[in-house]
Structure 1
């Protein structure tokens, strides 16, 4: 169960689809909104709950006393009911109202509440937390104590935890001097270091992970196969939305082509800026216009008068990753729209 306070449910589903597409599990493991689904206890699924859409608070501090909120029992009971093995809370700071993250008392009380959930439900609990600014200058690769104090706020978080991992991006110096790779690609690599382990020796050397971009259809997310009615309704709504977004592109097509200025590719950001004042995009935030453009032009894209434009994510380009590509297609192309 992943309870994330910062991403929307659609964003979490999108990530989940990328996991499934990359790791290829043998069955449908990913479920939707945790609080609205009921599955058999023997199923080992991934459940999501988005605090970005509906804030959840496990406890509230009143005069230095932590009181449990309704979500506490709700979460604990659902974990027991669904036989969930692992709970991920992300991030720690947003789980408790009135929490002073620098207060040892507050942090200890909050960690005790999270420990209770794990003990009473027999589930492992993972807490995602941010690092402090001071940790940026620490020699955490060689100093174990520096790793434990890297967490933001009181050290009592690490004191209460049975184990801890510290994640950091590769630095430019490491990329160039240690690994001999382009320093501009350093953010593609993550160093995972032991910061605490109560059940095994702490490893001094860390492990390196490389990020991988998985291209997925952002509108085709996690409809359960067994729910045919929902799937049909979703498919119809999806097609209607896609058609609307593509029609908006067609209405601005000439303006978009002008923006290319003789080039074969251009950033989504520039396209959004050029058509932001068009009628169909008025009063819409720039970031939303960018997302609508990407959705409308994903896959085959849109074609008009033998000119096709489609969205492409270019991971090799360090400056412009989200691009719109322009190409010419035969006049008899079945996807071509003439006006």
Structure 2
């Protein structure tokens, strides 16, 4: 063993010896591979944070992920390595009845039965008495970790064979100063130890700060950054923006049904350049009271995967040649409010509408036009508008398609 430097004394005047441990060389093929519980997002024995704005969909997403894990089914585009898992959801904001609504709506949508779950899903709620306070902090005593709770929780996780334990939200699982990095670091490390000792992944749902209300990132998480630093992965949720809605042809009043996720701090799996998109569909529980049967009962949101539309679906090189022919014979302008707009040539060839209310068609046209200008098939040219007697941007034919 190597030798470290010996400190002189501790606070109790007791000598302390520090010893450095030499690295032991090994064949990399003998190293135990990482144990993934869900896709490449949840790893056994490590922390994962889920960061989102309020009402962005993190609770219904966590339920959908839990159902994917307990059934072993790829519901949201993520595989479940090794088959069905055992998942424990501990919610500190919603009562058990509301959680049942969310879970049963998702099960109804996906056709999941009690037999499919097979007793592998566990659900608790603080509003129904299942209090979860891992730590408290007072001026008199400072930070105190609730050791009896940590021990009992670890024992139960092991006894149940839980693969993933999800806490929602993190801020309600402690009574410490959430802006104190030292306290939050200690709490986060305690959660990490629970995961390591219980051999399960730990998920902590977390809100963003007010400053991060526009575009959420890992650093938008409210309070001390120590939580994010302690996590192996940080899944970030963002609602669809107005610009994204225009780009994908989604009506503004419907865009809040869509959100995207990405891992903003995945230092344990290869990074992904693309966000995963989801939308919320409405599912009726058919639980209306006898005197109110016409309403159909509660309608709950369920998360399903969604892919942004491909502007070039069904578009061929022949379509491009025909658009180029129209552009060559006319004086088409670049801006969509100008007449004639270059997008009108695309609309004519593809049978689309440029009317203001045709949101999806206009988004498709705009995407195609931008791509053809970017790749040189069309080009923007500034020249004199004889009617306005000022310079305007026009669209002309660029390179011929191969």
- TM (normalized to structure 2)? 0.49
Q: Residue 80 and residue 296 in structure 1: after superposition, are their counterparts in 2 closer, same or farther (change >3 A)?
A: same
Deviations 1:93-144 (A, max 9, x none): 01112x1111101110110111111001101111100011111345x6xxxx
- Residue-pair matches, total: 210
Pick from 259, 273, 282 the counterpart of residue 204 of structure 1: 273
2:177 paired residue number: 100
Q: Residue 66 and residue 313 in structure 1: after superposition, are their counterparts in 2 closer, same or farther (change >3 A)?
A: closer
1:75 aligns with 2:153: yes
Greater relative contact order: 1 or 2 (C-alpha under 8 angstroms, separation 6 or more)?
2
Q: Residue 314 and residue 68 in structure 1: after superposition, are their counterparts in 2 closer, same or farther (change >3 A)?
A: closer
Gaps of 5+ in 2: 1-87, 301-402
1:114 aligns with 2:191: yes
2:264 paired residue number: 195
Q: Offset at 1:82?
A: 0.7
2:92 paired residue number: 5
Superposition map of 1:14-29 within 5 A: 14-25=101-112, 27-28=114-115
Superposition map of 1:84-163 within 5 A: 84-97=162-175, 99-138=176-215, 147-163=217-233
1:66 paired residue number: 144
2:253 paired residue number: 184
Q: Offset at 1:69?
A: 5.1
Q: Say which SS state the counterpart of residue 128 (structure 2) adopts.
A: coil
Question: In the alignment, is the contact (CA less than 8 A) between 1:163 and 1:197 conserved in 2?
Answer: yes
CA distance in 2, matches of 1:29, 1:64: 46
1:52 aligns with 2:121: no
Deviations 1:218-273 (A, max 9, x none): 5xxxxxxxxxxxxxxxxxxxxxxxxxxxxxxxxxxxxxxxxxxxxxxxxxxxxxxx
Q: Say which SS state the counterpart of residue 197 (structure 1) adopts.
A: coil
Question: In the alignment, is the contact (CA less than 8 A) between 1:44 and 1:84 conserved in 2?
Answer: no
Superposition map of 1:269-284 within 5 A: none
Q: Residue 297 and residue 125 in structure 1: after superposition, are their counterparts in 2 closer, same or farther (change >3 A)?
A: farther
Q: Residue 45 and residue 297 in structure 1: after superposition, are their counterparts in 2 closer, same or farther (change >3 A)?
A: farther
Superposition map of 1:159-170 within 5 A: 159-170=229-240
Pick from 162, 175, 178 the counterpart of residue 245 of structure 2: 175
Q: Residue 4 and residue 210 in structure 1: after superposition, are their counterparts in 2 closer, same or farther (change >3 A)?
A: same
2:289 paired residue number: 295
Deviations 1:125-178 (A, max 9, x none): 11100011111345x6xxxxxx220111111111000001100111223212x1
Q: Residue 29 and residue 107 in structure 1: after superposition, are their counterparts in 2 closer, same or farther (change >3 A)?
A: farther
- TM (normalized to structure 1)? 0.57
Q: Offset at 1:314?
A: 7.9
Q: Flag as ranges the 4+ runs of structure 1 deviating above 4 A.
A: 309-315
Question: In the alignment, is the contact (CA less than 8 A) between 1:66 and 1:109 conserved in 2?
Answer: no
Q: Say which SS state the counterpart of residue 66 (structure 1) adopts.
A: strand
Larger Rg: 2
Q: Residue 310 and residue 170 in structure 1: after superposition, are their counterparts in 2 closer, same or farther (change >3 A)?
A: closer
Q: Say which SS state the counterpart of residue 3 (structure 1) adopts.
A: strand
